[in-house]
Amino acid sequence: MTASTCQDQLPAGHVVLEQAELKDGRVSQTVRRSDGTEYERVVDSEEAYGTADDGEGHPTKDELASIGTSVMNWLDDLTQQDGPLKDWTPAESPAEVIPDLYNMLEESLACHRQACGEAKQLAEALEAGRLAGSPPAGFHWIDKPITVTGGDYTYEGRLLLSFPKGDGGAIRYIVLDQNRRLFIHNAQQLGLESEGQR
């Protein structure tokens, strides 16, 4: 079988031509010297295949540094564009970026779970109103253009209606964006706190 191992443990100029597994788990290698002569050596499987037999060499320190630089360059570009990472100032170390991104994901998932719960309540209230032949109590049709600037999104949309979160609960708003997706926001995210819009 053709060798796919790293050459780190071999003398300079020596190349593994072939290797085969032995019954005891070790590996027999045919090695060629720089002068063209060949010899056989027996090594353990870890040296023969490396810690991960993926068929690929492990990155060098320079390659890892290049990856880190590339990550930071991408982040620098993204933090200057409109979007959820705008004005984000991560640490200079790429490794410290990971917990920041994880926390952002956790916050986003928490908001998503909350929105899904509110959407379920809304659907139930709408269905109850449909069966009763009248709009659910506390629902107000608004239908006006709006620019959403709070929360994780910034976009132009249409504010469709407001509804209470449960009986006597906080007011929530449904906005339709330009891609015809529906979002649920609170008053602060829409800049409606001063208007007292309901």
Distance CA 145, CA 157 (A): 6
Which has the closest alpha carbon to 192: 133, 157, 134, 149? 149
Q: Which amino acid is at 66?
A: S
CB 145 within 8 A of CB 155: no
Return the percentage of the chain with pLDDT > 90, whole number. 4
Positive or negative, the CA dihedral 152, 155, 161, 162 is: positive
Regarding whether 185 and 149 lie in a shared domain, the answer is yes
Number of domains present in the structure of the chain: 3
Regarding whether 126 and 79 lie in a shared domain, the answer is no
Helix intervals (H) in 29-167: 45-49, 61-78, 94-132
Which residues span the domain enclosing 127? 110-190
**What's the whole-number mean pLDDT along residues 51-79?**
72
Regarding whether 1 and 54 lie in a shared domain, the answer is yes
pLDDT of residue 145: 93
Residue where the block lists tokens 């620019």: 147
Distance CA 109, CA 114 (A): 9
Average the pLDDT over each of 41-50, 103-112, 116-125, 131-140 and give the range with the smallest value: 131-140
Higher pLDDT, 52 or 140: 140
The pLDDT-based confidence of 146 (bands split at 50, 70, 90) is very high
> Does the pLDDT at position 44 exceed 70?
yes
Contacts 24+ apart (CB under 8 A), 67-75: 67/94, 68/94, 71/97, 72/97
On whether residue 11 sits in a domain, the answer given is yes
On whether residue 128 sits in a domain, the answer given is yes
The separation between the first and the last C-alpha atoms of the chain, rounded to the nearest angstrom, is: 74
Higher pLDDT, 54 or 177: 177
**What's the whole-number mean pLDDT along residues 179-188?**
84
Distance CA 30, CA 56 (A): 20
Average the pLDDT over each of 25-29, 125-129, 193-197 and give the range with the smallest value: 193-197
Regarding whether 161 and 124 lie in a shared domain, the answer is yes
